[in-house]
């Protein structure tokens, strides 16, 4: 193992190496194809317009660039999900690895939002040429980030939990309350799908757009995604229940809110 390389969570050292090489290769392909699209539009006039990004199948160059970018992001999420974060617990549920991959997609999406916003600021205030798409694109990505972050929060057990009464209960009552909470999550999920499926399906089938100059299909994608991610959260809640069923009871105190790892990092930063 190389110096500083952490243990593999699920890929294995050989699998991690393969994914890493594939990730870098896909990134290089994406950069090359993106450069070709930009230069080709400027020099050869490939006929790429603003709406071409929303319908990439209409232009093979844009289609290949976006496809390679999607592959690069997916491989990056797979690669980084193999590393355990400093404050992340050891994954032990049947759905945890999937949620960790999704969490890395969320982290990459946040970086993408920052890049889009930075590009817009530079174009607006340096070149006085604001874009027509940066605001909608950042909203589009942010919508998925909020939903994906909910799945990660459920996997990490970092959602709001009140332990004042819970810690006073005997073990069987704790299990009963855990089961009831998961059952309520599933009841809410089923009710949400029951009441919103037809609307989400209609928005997707008519490919409802945002009604702006760029006109991205935010309603057509966000509405079905809400139902999908709610199902994923419910599955993760069930995974947590099964994984925690036979674990020793936990006790909680205000000291648990103190992040020793973060405090240590602050100390090192101040010391430097």
* More confidently predicted of 269 and 35: 35
First to last CA, the chain: 29
Residue 70 CA to residue 56 CA, distance in Å, equals 13
Whether the CB-CB separation of 217 and 210 falls below 8 Å is answered with yes
pLDDT (0 to 100) of residue 4: 40
Q: Are 83 and 119 in contact (CB under 8 A)?
A: no
d(CA 165, CA 41): 64
What's the CA gap between 189 and 169, in Å, rounded? 27
Non-local CB neighbours of 106 within 8 Å, separated by 6+ positions: 144, 145, 148, 149, 152
CA distances from 162 to 152, 158, 166, 230, 259 (A): 19, 11, 7, 22, 18
Domain boundaries, the chain: 7-83
Segment 160-197, tens digit of pLDDT: 777 788 888 888 999 999 999 999 999 999 999 999 99
Split at pLDDT 50, 70, 90, the class of 46 is low
Contacts of 132-137 with CB under 8 Å at 24 or more apart are: 132/50, 132/212, 132/213, 132/214, 133/50, 133/53, 133/213, 133/214, 133/216, 136/210, 136/212, 136/214, 136/216, 136/218, 137/214, 137/216
Write the pLDDT tens digit of every residue in 214-256.
Answer: 889 999 999 999 999 999 999 999 999 999 998 877 776 655 5
Whole-angstrom Cα Rg for the chain = 22
pLDDT attached to residue 1 = 40
């Amino acid at each position: 193992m190389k110096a500083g390389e952490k243990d593999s969570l699920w890929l294995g050292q050989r699998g991690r190496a393969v994914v890493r090489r594939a990730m870098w290769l896909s990134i290089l392909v994406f950069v090359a194809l993106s450069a070709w699209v930009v230069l080709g539009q400027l020099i050869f006039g490939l006929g790429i317009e603003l709406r071409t990004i929303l319908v990439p199948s209409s232009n093979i160059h844009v289609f290949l660039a976006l496809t390679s970018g999607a592959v690069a992001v997916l491989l990056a999420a797979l690669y980084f999900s193999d590393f355990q974060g400093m404050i992340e617990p050891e994954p032990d549920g049947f759905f945890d690895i999937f949620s960790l991959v999704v969490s890395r997609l969320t982290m990459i999406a946040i970086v993408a939002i920052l890049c889009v916003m930075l590009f817009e600021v530079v174009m607006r205030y340096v070149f006085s040429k604001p874009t027509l798409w940066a605001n909608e694109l950042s909203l589009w990505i942010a919508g998925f980030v909020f939903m994906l972050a909910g799945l990660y929060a459920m996997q990490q057990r970092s959602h709001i939990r009140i332990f004042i009464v819970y810690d006073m209960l005997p073990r069987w009552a704790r299990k009963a309350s855990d089961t009831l909470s998961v059952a309520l999550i599933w009841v809410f999920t089923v009710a949400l799908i029951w009441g919103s499926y037809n609307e989400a399906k209609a928005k997707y089938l008519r490919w409802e757009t945002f009604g702006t100059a760029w006109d991205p299909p935010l309603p057509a994608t966000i509405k079905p995604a809400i139902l999908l991610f709610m199902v994923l959260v419910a599955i993760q809640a069930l995974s947590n229940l099964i994984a925690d069923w036979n674990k020793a009871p936990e006790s909680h105190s205000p000291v648990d809110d103190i992040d020793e790892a973060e405090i240590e990092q602050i100390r090192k930063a101040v010391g430097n």
